[in-house]
Amino acid sequence: MNTDIIRIQVEGPDNHVQELEIPDGINLSLMEILKASEYDILATCGGMALCATCHVQVLEGMEKLEERNDAEMDMLDTLPNAEDNSRLACQIKVSPAIDGLRIKVSQNI
């Protein structure tokens, strides 16, 4: 059986780039994958789009992602340093559609 592997490039706070390989069907958000991969993501609210601590910047592949919903936009608004390419990792479902995504994880504010 052919299982899709989803590849995501993550640039950490130290600028070190790591490629994460995630098997399809894992049913997790990008935030959960980043936490499991030992990135320093607080995820205070556990993934409810209520805290903005899972904020990442999309360097490549923004077009692969679904539009931000209202809750995500509201939370991004609270961040002093949010940019146009800012997303909340907890709102991004890991699926084959996001294969090739490249993101940057910054230091927690």
Partner 1 sequence: MKIIETDIAIIGAGPVGLFAVFEAGLLKMRCHLIDALPQVGGQLSEIYPRKPIYDIPGYPTIDAQDLVDRLMEQIAPFNPSFTLGERVEQLEKQEDGSYHVISNEGTIIHAQVVVIAGGLGSFEPRRPDLRGILDYEGRGGVNYFVKNPETYRDKRVVIAGGGDSALDWTIYLSDVAEHLTLVHRSETFRGAPDSAQKVFNLAEQGKIDLLLQSNLSSVHGDNGQLQQVGVTDKSKEETLLNVDYLIPLFGLSPKLGPIGEWGLNIEKSAVAVDTFDYSTNVERIYAIGDINTYPGKLKLILCGFHEAALMCQSAFKYVYPNEKLSFKYTTVNGIHAF
Looking at 3-11, 23-31, 77-85, 88-96, which segment touches partner 1 (CB under 8 A)?
A: 77-85
Query: Tokens 């790591």 — which residue?
Result: 18
Q: Return the residue of 44, 66, 69, 96 that touches partner 1, per CB under 8 A.
A: 44
CA count, 13 A, side-chain hemisphere, 73: 5
Which of 6, 4, 41, 19 has the alpha carbon at shortest distance from 103?
Answer: 19
Decide: is 77 part of the binding site for partner 1 (CB under 8 A): yes
Binding site for partner 1 (CB under 8 A): 42, 44-45, 48, 50-53, 73-74, 77-82, 108-109
